[in-house]
Amino acid sequence: MKKHEISGKKSAQSAPKKGALSTAEQLGLREGQSLELLKALHILTRDGAINQDSRRKLKQVNHLLQFIEPLLAKVQSSKGSVTLVDHGAGKSYLGFMLYDLFFKSITGKVIGVEVRDELVARSRELAAQFGFKGMEFLNLSVDASNTVLPKEIDIVTALHACDTATDDAIAFALSHNAQHVVLVPCCQAEVAGALKAGKASALQNNPLVELWRRPLHTREFGSQLTNVLRCLQLEAHGYEVTVTELVGWEHSMKNELIVASKGAAHAKSSAKRLNAMLDQLGLNAMRPRFFTPLLEKEVA
């Protein structure tokens, strides 16, 4: 009797509580999201646990998916298939999670572009392991991928592509007539370096140089300015641009999300403001980076 009572007590304790959340619900996963894929990506441990850093990463990517999903639906509705290129793919968290949730049920391809050969090799292995036949990985720089990939690309993404890689992704999107561009810029030093180089002469003529005179402000202002110039460039090429937070600042300091969709008229005013800013801030040497070749004659 005692053994039976003890055994019964243990069984009652081990039974799941009524209304208990599933593992997926506890992790804040989307419906249908594969736990096994997240384990293979090392976002989850083999036991399905997650540390704080991975939780932040998962939250960022899942939130980003909410912005990309309607863009996929638009392209799918108009063309019947979707080709998405993810630049600076890294371990391809974004590409794999996109494919797992959306591309398994639509016609299309996810192409990851990454310069680190070991990450490309691992991504190819994972795609084969999970049967993701519409995924492709290129061991190339963004610039080198220009001549390899099709002339028409539907969606271009760059998640935390460091420094000028985001600008390279924008240049790629413009040259491949991308309908949508989704960017989460990371560390940016090129503009800050140019501001620093021209600081001495700027101090004599422009009181606004106080915005970036001190080294910390140079870095912060340079980062802010870089994204402003990127938005103006996209607008000048006929994109409607929205800028928002990806997630709360407590999850990531690299938090700015830029979403651009083609469909607006080429904005001459944006091209003019971009050129005026480069001139006023002593950044004329950076015109090739923030090019607006379609509007050069009108702006000149």
CATH number of the structural domain spanning residue 59: 3.40.50.150
Same domain, 79 and 162: yes
| Domain presence at residue 9 | no
Q: Let me know whether 211 and 149 are in one domain.
A: no
In a domain, residue 139? The reply is: yes
* Cα 211 to Cα 221: distance, rounded to the nearest angstrom: 7
pLDDT value of residue 14: 42
Q: Are residues 193 and 181 in the same domain?
A: no
12 is a domain residue: no
107, 119: one domain:
yes
Examine residue 203 and state whether it is found in any structural domain, yes or no. Answer: yes
- Say if residue 158 is in the same domain as residue 205: no
- Domain assignment of residue 73, given as a range: 36-186
Give pLDDT, residue 31.
Answer: 82
Answer yes or no: is 129 within a domain.
Answer: yes
Residue 294 has a pLDDT of 54
Q: Would residue 3 count as lying in a domain?
A: no
* pLDDT at position 207: 83
- In terms of domains, do 82 and 169 share one? yes
Cβ atoms of 172 and 85 within 8 Å: the answer is: yes
Residues 29 and 96: beta-carbon distance below 8 Å: no
- Say whether both 84 and 106 belong to one domain: yes
- Residue 122 within any structural domain of the chain: yes
- pLDDT of res. 265: 75
Q: 22: burial class by Cβ within 10 Å (0-12, 13-18, 19+)?
A: exposed
pLDDT mean for each 10 residues of the chain (300 residues): 44 45 72 92 89 85 92 96 96 95 93 96 98 96 91 94 85 95 87 84 78 88 92 95 76 76 86 92 89 58
For residue 249, being part of any structural domain is answered with: no
The domain total for the chain is 2
Q: Please identify, among 167, 186, 205, the residue that sits at the C-terminal boundary of a domain.
A: 186
